[in-house]
Structure 1
Amino acid sequence: MLGSLRSIVQEVNAARDLPAVLDIIVRRVRDVMHTRVCSVYLRDNQSGTYVLMATRGLNPDAVGNVHLAPGEGLVGNVVTREEPINLERAEAHPAYHYFPATGEERFSAFLGTPIIHHRQVLGVLVVQQAEQRRFDEGEEAFLVTLSAQLAGVIAHAEATGALAAIGQQRREAKFTGLAASPGVAIGRAHIVVPPANLATVPYACCMDVDAELELFQQALSNAREEIREVGEQLKGDLNREERALFDAYISMLDDSSIAVEVCDRIRQQLTASRAWAEVMLEHVRRFEAMSDSYFRDRAADVRDLGARVLMHLRQQQQAERDYPENTILVGEELTAATLAQVPREKLIGLVSVKGSGNSHVAIIARAMGLPAVMGAQELPFERIDGEDLVVDGYRGELFVHPSPELRRRYDSIVEEERELAKNLDYLATLPAETADGHRVRLWVNTGLMADVVRSLERGAEGVGLYRTEVPFLLRDRFPSEEEQREIYREQLEAFAPRPVTMRTLDIGGDKALAYFPIEETNPFLGWRGIRVTLDHPEIFLGQVRAMMKASLGLDNLRIMLPMISGIGELVSARKLVERAHAELVDEGFDIAMPPLGIMIEVPSAVYQARELAEQADFISVGSNDLTQYLLAVDRSNSRVAGIYHSLHPAVLRALQEIITAGHEAGTKVGICGELAGDPGGALLLMAMGYDVLSMNATNLPRVKAALRAVTKPEADELLQRVLPMHSPQEIEHTVRDYLTEMGLKALLQPQ
């Protein structure tokens, strides 16, 4: 049945709307499984019942008129059990419920599978047979697999309002991703799509059909002319077969059947771009399905031709894009260039289907103070252009078509944030110390000059992590030593005399350079961080030379090595740094050897923390990566984001072990990661004895307010309470309750 499954999924993905999807499912499943009946029941979110929405084999008049509560009838039992029900004689089951409207008294065999998305039962897929028999394991597995495929389609339909088109009330839809930049944004989606990608053209309707038809004909004409011109220019360089390709393109554009198909869809009020994309993708799929390899290869030609015409359509349609006042930029993969196109005063948030909290767009979002969610993999972004959105950058959640109640709740959060920021402004000039005088250094994580002003305004005492990879990410080649020196000098001067900790180039994992690709099966366990730069000493030496030259006369530079997993890497790196320093001294630069520290991010370094601390000038824990590696959770994967928890008992115990080892060796230990920027987490870290907490500038006032509100013994008592606990949820609840008891509830991130 695998071939049938693939075929059905292809048809479903190509379907224009949900009614078409449901019709394909019930029609094709009945044929493939040779049953008399196939039906789909969907949840009505208003009543909580499950409604017959499509059928082949039951009375078609029953569609929309049969409602089952959870637990009612066999379908309702599939809902409550959340697993398939496979019966030889359905009418003998105690839960069997007869509905005269369906005419189902003729059917005995019953197989129903739940359609589940994010642990919610969205519907039930049912097949029935007249004779008494039990569906075999293969048939049951087929229906379960298809139900899983259908779950995503229905969730998308909720988000885009497609359920409203088949009689259900439109409601808010929730999607999860990765929390990339804190804050809340309430605004309107503005979709960014690649300029000529047929697969990402948003579903959109046009108001003026005649104008859209004219637009389409003009784009066809422009594409024909462009192809002719290119063919003429290259005529002398191509052989006969290659020249024939241009003739084939023009022939396809002259094909009246394709133009008629597109025009028919435009007359159904589709935009020219969407109509063209639908038709051309159908032709691509037909070619790809052909058995002859020659014709399968032509699918690429059809796709290329489709992209050429689409480019001309886009040029005419998007000569001037209008951005709403409260723009939330949404795209498959946002870039710094797309952000730059939006007027800053109109941009309030970002959502990206791909990417992680470490992508340079996420870093820019944090620098600009824009709430952002990355990795929202299941969001049907191409169908929500212009829709109302709520972006929760604290929890990595977004809501399409938010209900009035949800909007009011998030409006109050936005207002509370505004008031809290205003009330904490006075802390900028006060020291970060507890009520009984215990001092902690609060530093910031930076990557762009845009971070500097916000960091200093909030009272940053230094930089605990300057991400030197950001200038590398924003270029199309390696920056020269002099270019790096200029960038680093700006940072060092801006914070002088405060210390600035510059991490050497940390690429690999989810941070790839377009001009230095690293293709690996498991990049987080692969060639990244110090492993790359030790293998390329020319990159490492150039970078540390640039750092040291930038520090001339300032002497506030600290160099930090990422992804250290053992003593050998630290020894090798120190030799290179000392060599670079010696070279600069020989060249006449009067520069002191900067302190050289390491990041502890992998478990092996935790268990060698004592030896590493004896050889490093300072230690900084990268708590985000350390948590990822300890819990075996890819933090850029939204599907397992719920397992990633920085207050996991294993993480807290590792952090305690590191600080103990570091101080026993007489070495200062800091931490840079999300945990340090959380008020509750900061109290635990301060109690452990961490000397420096480095965080996003946005979180600095909250952390300082929490530290100044407690005494060191009070924080110590809290730490002793949570260390023996067994679950991160228990620890989190305990810390939240403690902050609430201390009158610090306003500092907590919304839940």
Structure 2
Amino acid sequence: MLNTLRRIVQEVNSARDLAAALDIIVQRVREAMGTEVCSVYLLNPEIGRYVLMATEGLNKDAVRAVTLATNEGLIGYVGTREEPVNLEDAASHPRFRYFAETGEERYASFLGVPIIHHRRVMGVLVIQQKERRQFDEGEEAFLVTMSAQLAGVIAHAEATGAIGGLGWGGEVVQDTRFDGVAGAPGVAIGHAVVILPPADLKAVPDKQAKDIEAEIRLFRGALDSVRADMQTLSSKLSSQLRPEELALFDVYLMMLDDAALGNEVIKGIRAGQWAQGALREVVSAHVGRFELMDDPYLRERAADVKDLGRRILAYLQAVGQQELVFPEHTILVSEELSPVMLGQVPKEKLVGLVSVLGSGSSHVAILARAMGIPTVMGAVDLPYTRVDGMELIVDGNRGEVYTNPSHELRRQYLELVREERELVQGLEKLRDVPCVTPDGHRMPLLVNTGLLADVARSLDRGAEGVGLYRTEVPFMIQDRFPSEKEQQATYREQLEAFHPLPVTMRSLDIGGDKALTYFPIKEDNPFLGWRGIRVTLDHPEIFLVQTRAMLKASQGLNNLRIMLPMISSLFEVEEALHLIHRAYGEVLDEGVDVPMPPVGVMIEVPAAVYQARELIQMVDFLSVGTNDLTQYLLAVDRNNPRVADLYHSLHPAVLQALLKVAAACREAGKPMSVCGEMAGDPAAAVLLMAMGCDVLSMNATNLPKVKWLLRQIKLTDAKALLDEVIELDNPHLILSTLHLALRRMGLGKVLSQAR
């Protein structure tokens, strides 16, 4: 049955449209199950009725003619129950509804299962037979499995039609929304340019090489051409990114080296295969191995190898690079965006990015944030090959993409863009003004940084220092561990740029969704695995080198603070402090005169919340990373669009955890900061201030909005708001209550619009 299921799904996947897909489903399911009738009813949300969309066995004239209300007949009964209904005599059931045009009076037995996608009942799949009998458990299980498999396929076909501007009933569809993961903040309206793979490696046939040396020359020529492309694109981006950030391109150039991919392909050619076939074999072997592995770093490498393989093949096929025309407002769309693709678009024309695969932590998302380009990653339901040339709206704040925007939606988003522009201009005057509430409460606002490109933007927006410097970013964009001197130079740049303001440097935080290509960590569950402080304590040589580099970089500046990530026990803090003091002693022995910097702990896992009172006794400050803390408290992968709706930083459990940490810091008389995305949400910042948070650190883009709002609201009013929402048990209700209260105070202009 499993092979039958696979064959049906593959066939349906290749159908040209929804109608063809449904016809295949009813034909193949009827054949596979040996029944007399198979039908599909889909729920049309426009009219709120089930429509018979395809059948084998009933009267074909009834297709699209027969409709039922959602509470009508056995079809409505299956949809309402959201579970199978298995009857040996359908006509005797009180919910049976007879339609003369279908001819179904001849069929006694009935088995209907709901078709559900993302909790939405999309329709009902039905089989019927003349003989009066109940379908057995195996038949029911097969149909349920078939329905679950087909739900995504039907949704994809429905989405493809919607992209074309037509619903499956032929009605005009606009404002079709596809959800993904917020990659880089902002809103973009423009026209899609889809970058497809330049060549299809899978389509390359086997072929004997007639002239081996000629094939090798051809392959080396293609390699040289792709190398030249890489160097051209790298120099195009050089004005926007620092050399270390451009090292992403060096990873590609390394792969093209004769000792890497090149050598393997030449071996294949010498074995008798033509250049294209040898390339296909090498690339497919690498990609196949990588794609079978769970580790995010390996999957990213697979994408890189695939991208390079296609580019080389394009030259081998003598088609060169795809000639793309970029409109004034280009939104770049691809199955998997690579840093190279960003460089193909003239800087002044690129307004947005959409990637079907990838997460908010991928290289592309990091670069997009550094370049200030609104980005949506992980838009897995978007049939991206169909959107080329279409107008899109990219909402990088919420991780949404809209196709076929209506005049009204376009007007709303244009208004948002205009308001955002005016707001940013209006808030610029706050740059040098401290963040003080009307009743005199001072709230320092710091920034989260990782790239040198963040510095200018942060200072322009009035940042009072760095609450989180992600030291892993310089590590991620190299092909080896940076030396102590290289790290020292990088850290010195950050410390000097913000001097005399404080810069909080987080020790190397890799693992989970942050991988180093040269230090693979293969785990079944990386988010609960070897990451953060666990890695660096197991490798004290990495920790000591980094700490020494930080300390030396701070000489004469004295604005360094060190923060430890992913702490889950007091023992980890003891070990880390021991290593920090050892590094400090070594630096002093070298004659570098620096004071011991304040050391803090990141609160990111529930264990740290419940030990906050003990942890704060050991260190100088606590900083809450609300992104990971929310993820671990709610058991929701924040990079997974399938469960994105369950991830909510205003969840009551998250708020209670924050209150617990704030109380521990208050008792100890030491500061608490928040450096997760929550700190950059103006409404959430009001609650954090009310809880007693001493410092907020955020993306530079959001800092002026947070400053404006906190300068408008009294601390006493913020505390009253906190008292009101802390009693609520639903995160969506908390958000709407908070927004409503702030709007009533006339403070709504910096709040994000609700979906």
| TM-score using structure 2 length | 0.83
2:295 is equivalent to residue 325 of structure 1: no
Residue 541 of structure 1, aligned match among 544, 554, 564: 544
Q: Indicate the residue corresponding to 1:169 in structure 2.
A: 171
Aligned in 2, Cα 1:28/1:393: closer, same or farther, shift over 3 Å?
same
Partners of 2:472 and 2:144 lie apart in 1 by 45
**Kept in 1: contact 2:616–2:670 (CA 8 A):** yes
Distance 1:186 1:570 in 2: 47
Other structure's SS at 2:319 match: helix
Amino acid at match of 1:676: A
Gap regions ≥5 residues in structure 2: 220-262, 285-305
Matching residue of 1:107: 107
Identity of aligned residues (%): 61
Deviations 1:108-142 (A, max 9, x none): 22222222222333232221212222222222222
In the TM superposition, what is the alpha-carbon distance from 1:484 to its structure 2 partner? Answer: 1.9
Question: For 2:34 and 2:275, how far apart are their aligned partners in 1?
Answer: 43
Residue of structure 2 equivalent to 1:355: 358
Q: Say if 2:495 and 2:503, in contact at 8 Å, map to a contact too.
A: yes
Cα distance in 1 between the residues matched to 2:528 and 2:173: 42
Q: 1:67 to 1:721 in 2, by over 3 A?
A: closer
Cα distance in 2 for partners of 1:221, 1:520 equals 36
Q: 1:715 aligns with which of 703, 718, 723?
A: 718
User: For 2:87 and 2:514, how far apart are their aligned partners in 1?
Assistant: 52
| Corresponding residue number in structure 2 for 1:422 | 425
Q: Compared with structure 1, are the counterparts of its residues 537 and 223 closer, same or farther at alpha carbon in structure 2 (3 Å cutoff)?
A: farther
In the alignment, what sits opposite 2:234? none
2:143 aligned partner, one-letter code: L
Q: Does 1:65 align with 2:65?
A: yes
2:358 and 2:540 map into 1 onto residues whose CA distance is 29
Greater shift after overlay, 183-192 or 469-478?
183-192
Residue of structure 2 equivalent to 1:750? 753
Matching residue's letter, 1:185 = A
Instruction: Name the stretch that deviates more: 174-183 or 441-450.
Output: 174-183
Q: Distance in 1 between matches of 2:621 and 2:397?
A: 31
Query: How much has 1:468 moved relative to structure 2?
Result: 1.0
In the alignment, the residues of structure 1 paired with residue 276 and residue 400 of structure 2 have an alpha-carbon distance, to the nearest angstrom, of 47
How far residue 402 of structure 1 moved from its aligned partner, in angstroms, is 2.9
* Whole-angstrom CA distance in 2 between matches of 1:308 and 1:447: 30
Q: Does 1:638 align with 2:641?
A: yes
CA–CA separation in structure 2 for the residues paired with 1:195 and 1:232: 21
| Higher mean displacement: 675-684 or 355-364 | 355-364
Cα 1:504/1:364, change in 2 over 3 Å: same
The answer (yes or no) to whether the contact 1:394–1:750 under 8 Å persists in 2 is no
Alignment of 1:681-700 (within 5 A): 681-700=684-703
Deviation string 1:595-652 (CA, Å, 9 cap, x unpaired) is 2221111122122222221221222111111111122222122222222221122211
Distance 2:354 2:52 in 1: 35
Structure 2 counterparts to residues 9-48 of structure 1, below 5 A: 9-44=9-44, 46-48=46-48
Match of 1:376 in 2: 379
Post-superposition Cα deviations, 1:71-123, rounded to whole Å, max 9, x if no partner, equal: 34433443444333322222333443333443333222222222222233323
- Counterparts of 1:304-315 in structure 2, within 5 Å, are 311=314
Looking at structure 1, the residues matched to 184 and 276 of structure 2 have their Cα atoms a distance apart, in angstroms, of 48
Structure 2 letter corresponding to 1:673: G
User: In 2, are the aligned partners of 1:171 and 1:403 still within 8 Å (CA)?
Assistant: no
Whole-Å Cα distance in 2 between the matches of residues 560 and 226 of structure 1?
61
Which residues in structure 2 correspond to 1:19-168 (within 5 Å)?
Answer: 19-44=19-44, 46-161=46-161, 164=166, 168=170
Residues 228 and 195 of structure 1, relative CA distance in 2, 3 Å threshold: farther
**Distance between the aligned counterparts of 2:505 and 2:211, measured in 1?**
50
Kindly provide the CA deviation profile for residues 271-303 of structure 1, in whole angstroms up to 9, marking residues without a partner as x: xxxxx9xxxx9xxxxxxxxxxxxxxxxxxxxx9
Q: How does 1:607-618 map to 2 (within 5 A)?
A: 607-618=610-621
1:599 and 2:602 correspond:
yes
How far 1:245 moved relative to its partner?
Answer: 6.8
Q: Which moved more, 1:512-521 or 1:65-74?
A: 65-74
1:704 corresponds to: 707
Counterpart of 1:169, as a letter, is E
Tell me whether 113-122 or 434-443 shows the greater mean CA deviation: 113-122
Instruction: Provide, for residues 18-66 of structure 1, a one-character-per-residue CA deviation record: whole Å limited to 9, x for no partner.
Output: 3442232111100111111112233445444433332222233433433
Q: Tell me: CA distance 1:245–1:145, structure 2 relative to 1, closer, same or farther (3 Å).
A: farther
> CA offsets, 1:220-271, max 9 Å, x none?
899977978448999xx99xx9889746999999xxxxxxxxxxxxxxxxxx
2:654 aligned partner, one-letter code: V
Moved more, 325-334 or 688-697: 325-334
Instruction: Kindly state the Cα deviation for residue 197 of structure 1 after the two structures are TM-superposed.
Output: 5.5
Q: Deviations over 1:353-385 (max 9, x none)?
A: 333333333233233332222222333334433
- Name the CA distance, whole Å, in 1 between partners of 2:216 and 2:369: 48
Aligned partner (choices 660, 664, 667) of residue 664 of structure 1: 667
In the alignment, what sits opposite 2:447?
Answer: 444
Q: Matches of 1:117 and 1:226 in 2, distance apart?
A: 54
CA contact (8 A) 2:269 2:275 kept: no
Q: How far off is 1:194 after superposition?
A: 4.8
Equivalent residues, number: 681
Between the aligned partners of 2:119 and 2:735, the Cα distance in structure 1 is 23
Aligned counterpart, 1:204 = none
| TM-aligned CA distance change 1:17 to 1:308, over 3 Å | farther
Distance (whole Å) between structure 2 residues aligned to residue 366 and residue 22 of structure 1: 42
2:500/2:559 contact within 8 Å kept: yes
- Residue 467 of structure 1, CA deviation: 0.7
Residue range with higher mean Cα deviation, 352-361 or 729-738: 352-361
Report the more deviating stretch, 10-19 or 549-558.
10-19
Secondary structure of the residue aligned to 1:725 is: coil
Identify if the C-alpha distance between structure 1 residues 85 and 186 changes in structure 2 by more than 3 Å, giving closer, same or farther: farther
Contact 1:195–1:314 (CA<8 Å) still a contact in 2? no
SS at match of 1:429: coil
CA contact (8 A) 2:209 2:269 kept: no
RMSD of Structure 2 on Structure 1 (CA): 3.3
Aligned 1:235-274 pairs, distance under 5 A? 246=272
The 3 A distance-change label for structure 1 pair 129 and 444 is: same
Q: Deviation string for 1:434-457 (max 9, x for gaps)?
A: 101110110011111221122111
Distance 1:375 1:28, change over 3 A: same
Q: Residues 231 and 246 of structure 1 are in contact (CA less than 8 Å); yes or no, is this contact kept in structure 2?
A: no
395-404 or 598-607, which deviates more: 395-404
Flag the 1:232–1:372 CA change in 2: closer, same or farther, 3 A: closer
After superposition, the Cα gap between the structure-2 partners of 1:81 and 1:696, relative to the gap in structure 1 and judged at 3 Å, is: same
Q: Deviations over 1:379-411 (max 9, x none)?
A: 333443333322222222222333333333322
Q: Is the 8 A contact 1:231 1:243 kept in 2?
A: yes
- One-letter identity of the residue aligned with 1:145: T
Deviation by residue 1:505-564 (Cα, 9 ceiling, x = unmatched): 110011111111111111111100011111112222222222222222222111111111
Write the letter of the residue equivalent to 1:113. Answer: V
Please tell me the residue identity of whatever aligns with 1:186. I
Contact 2:184 2:365 in 1 (8 A): yes
Over 3 Å counting, the alpha-carbon distance change for 1:441 and 1:316 in structure 2 is: same
The 5 Å alignment of 1:496-645 reads 496-645=499-648
Cα distance in 2 for partners of 1:198, 1:385 equals 22
Q: Which amino acid aligns with 1:39?
A: S
Structure 1 equivalent of residue 245 of structure 2: none
Partner Cα distance (1:511, 1:669) in 2: 25
Q: 1:188 aligns with which of 176, 186, 191?
A: 191
Question: What is the deviation of 1:706?
Answer: 1.4
Equivalent position of 1:477 in the other structure:
480
> What residue identity is the alignment partner of 1:141?
A
TM-aligned CA distance change 1:248 to 1:702, over 3 Å: closer
The amino acid that maps onto 2:341 is T
SS in structure 2 at match of 1:657: helix
1:294-328 deviation digits (Å, cap 9, x = unpaired): xxxxxxxxx99x97996458862634322232222
- Match for residue 678 of structure 2 among 675, 680, 692: 675
